[in-house]
Structure 1
Amino acid sequence: MKKHSIALMLFILHLIVISNTNAGLVPSATRVIYRQEDPSQILLLANSNPYPIIAQIWTDQGERNPESTHTPFVITPAIFKMQVQEIKSIKIIYNQDQLATDRESVFWLNLYEVPMVERSKLQEDHLNLAMNTQMKIFFRPKSLKEMSIDQRSKNLLFDIITQENQQQLSIENHSAFHITMLNIKLKSAEGVFPVDNTNQEMLAPFEKISINLKQFNMSNIQPNEIEYTLIDDQGIKNTYIQKII
């Protein structure tokens, strides 16, 4: 009970900070870490809109479809009303479906909101804007040993390779965890060169990706280091600098 009270107080402080800048259905975390041994996970939601809403919550694999049946989670309650500034909690429950035991799995939690309309205004011309916010649920099996964000960074391998006559940045994730990577920069004596990985921000466990470097004249650049930012379990950004092999 004490733990939930502290979480609620921190969430209220968070809402006070963002109340003048953001609106919408605001969650108390940026991601959900669901360990297999957890009976459930509680997520707080706040309606920071200046109007009441109806919220619908579901999980899927990224397709934004409330009819999806391909995820191992039950959400309760799934549909509910929220008044202005109201805070409610939802419970996320793992239904014990079989998932990978040697690596983390990822699913998406959808927070769908629709403004409520007064009966007296139903005949008037108005525009109702629905909004869907997605956040990740990372499921960690019991057999998976916890690894800090610093340890995960040490499980990344970077290299400059040539494929089809084009130089590419190769990134290998040797960990059993998903890794979200932002702000990649190649560093050399010639300067600092930002690398666009907009469509490849999250590496799956044991995945290897290649990012095309065609925007650079690599014959004039000899990068020896790479700088990048990783997002940890609390949604905090951590920046690292690593040698390129």
Structure 2
Amino acid sequence: MGSLFNLAQADVSINATRIIYPASKKEITFTVNNAGKKSSLIQAWLDEGNSKDTPDNTSAPFVLTPPISILQAEKGQNIRVRYTGEIALPTDKESLFWINVLEVPQNTDDPNQLRIGIRSRIKFFFRPEKLALSPENAPEKLSWKLISKNSKWYVLIHNGTPYYITFNQIHINTEKTKGSVDLSPQKSMISPNGDMEYEITAKSDEIKPGINFSVINDYGGSSSYTAKLAE
């Protein structure tokens, strides 16, 4: 006997892992690709961080064009994003939103086939003009401090920059402790003027002396840095 339900598989994807919207631009575009053998109905919108928001109740001040479209098989399509200005966003730091692209399941006459809409969701940063620091130099300005609590070591990181910074790896080897941070997707990003505290997991592996870490850059790649503990 065959399985009752077919497994859901996403054919539609966004061609980036993050999108930067410079405030100086009237609009930007990103591309959605359909790797499947059939055309797909897609719906796109932005939200302010609540994954349960829908196109009908989001208040993100952006317009996506087209919001709904048919994406042909094995084709790509550009989607334009325009800042409406209806809500004034900070001019001294980045603002974070999320782009959603929903692949709407096609109708089927097979009663044993489960129809599931598959959504792609990536970070969207609105970046003001003339920030005092470049995004490439921002990770070097982070402040690092070791804290001991309940026989465990933690690292407290302060982000005094105007950028969101997303960690990829954190390794620490000092006289006090040696280990790494187990980063989860939900706790890997530190906001402008924000603080994050991470537990350091002891490691027996070889770790270079000092603080060595990497972050996700504007292009979705990884950039490596070193740091010193705050005095």
Q: TM-score, normalised by structure 2?
A: 0.82
* Counterpart in the other structure of 2:3: none
CA distance in 2, matches of 1:208, 1:189: 24
For 1:74, which of 50, 63, 75 is the aligned residue? 63
**How do 1:1-245 and structure 2 match up within 5 A?**
24-64=11-51, 65-66=53-54, 67-96=56-85, 97-117=87-107, 121-122=108-109, 124-145=111-132, 147-149=134-136, 151-162=137-148, 167-188=153-174, 193-198=179-184, 199-213=186-200, 215-216=201-202, 225-245=210-230
Contact 2:171 2:211 in 1 (8 A): yes
Change (3 A) 1:171 1:190: closer
Corresponding letter in the other structure for 1:94: Y
Deviation at 1:72, TM superposition (A): 1.0
CA distance in 2, matches of 1:106, 1:38: 17
Contact 1:48 1:85 in 2 (8 A): yes
Deviation at 1:163, TM superposition (A): 5.1
Deviation at 1:106, TM superposition (A): 0.6
Contact 2:178 2:202 in 1 (8 A): no
Higher RCO (CA-CA < 8 Å; seq separation 6+): 2
Looking at secondary structure, tell me which structure has more helix per residue.
1
Deviation at 1:216, TM superposition (A): 4.2
CA distance in 2, matches of 1:191, 1:171: 16
1:153 aligned counterpart, secondary structure: helix
Deviation at 1:139, TM superposition (A): 0.6
Deviation at 1:193, TM superposition (A): 1.8
How many correspondences in the alignment? 214
Gaps of 5+ in 2: 1-8
Q: TM-score, normalised by structure 1?
A: 0.78
Deviation at 1:24, TM superposition (A): 2.7
Q: Could you report, residue by residue, the CA deviation over 1:23-63 in whole angstroms, capped at 9, with x for unpaired residues?
A: 53222322111111211011111111233221110100222
- Cα-Cα RMSD: 2.5
Corresponding letter in the other structure for 1:112: L
Q: Could you report, residue by residue, the CA deviation over 1:54-113 in whole angstroms, capped at 9, with x for unpaired residues?
A: 111010022232223321111111111112112111110100120111111010000111
Deviation at 1:144, TM superposition (A): 2.3
2:143 aligned counterpart, secondary structure: strand
Identical-residue share of aligned pairs (%): 26
Gaps of 5+ in 1: 1-21, 218-222
Contact 2:104 2:117 in 1 (8 A): yes
Change (3 A) 1:158 1:146: closer
Write out the 4+ residue segments of structure 1 that deviate beyond 4 Å after TM superposition: 163-166, 188-192
Change (3 A) 1:224 1:157: farther
1:158 aligned counterpart, secondary structure: strand
